Amino acid sequence: MSRTAPPSGWPPPAKARLGDTAIALAPLAAVTADRYFERFPDDLERYGDAARAWELHDTQHLLHWAIGDVEGFVDMEHHVGWLAGVLDARDFPLEHLAVNLEPAAEVVAERLERGEDVAERLLRAAVSVRAR
């Protein structure tokens, strides 16, 4: 069985701007990843050393897209649809993507001013992924 390669190519965004505030995405993604792996610990075995790296990579993109959607310059649904297509083609369970969006929403609602706006985008994306 071949192991999943770690992320390569375009790195995930490190920051996003929500209003006048620069948001560091890595700490939010790390908390989200911890919550995700509590729900799906088998992914650590299934994807090996690359599991957490991919979780952080994709979550930073998801957070960036959600914040960009709130700010009016990103179409979150379009980007999440693209990511769902990529993950589906790689036989990654889309329910796991939907579930990942939910703790991401919790984290931003807990930790960011205007986090509820961002959380709403993430939760709407989870519904969209489940509807695929």
Q: Which tokens go with 72?
A: 């009016």
Q: Note the pLDDT of residue 3.
A: 67
Report CA-CA distances (Å) from 54 to 33, 61, 110, 112, 127.
10, 11, 23, 23, 22
Distance (Å, whole) CA 27 – CA 31: 6
**The pTM is what?**
0.94
Q: How far is CA 56 from CA 19, 50, 71, in A?
A: 24, 10, 22
What's the farthest any 2 CA atoms get from each other in the chain? 48
Give pLDDT, residue 86.
Answer: 93
pLDDT score for 37: 97
Q: What distance, in Å, lies between the first and last C-alpha atoms of the chain?
A: 28
Per-residue pLDDT of the chain (132 residues; tens, 9 = 90+): 456 776 776 799 999 999 999 999 999 999 999 999 999 999 999 888 899 999 999 999 999 999 999 999 999 999 999 999 999 998 999 999 999 999 999 999 999 999 999 999 999 999 999 998
Which residue has 């579930």 as its token pair?
A: 99
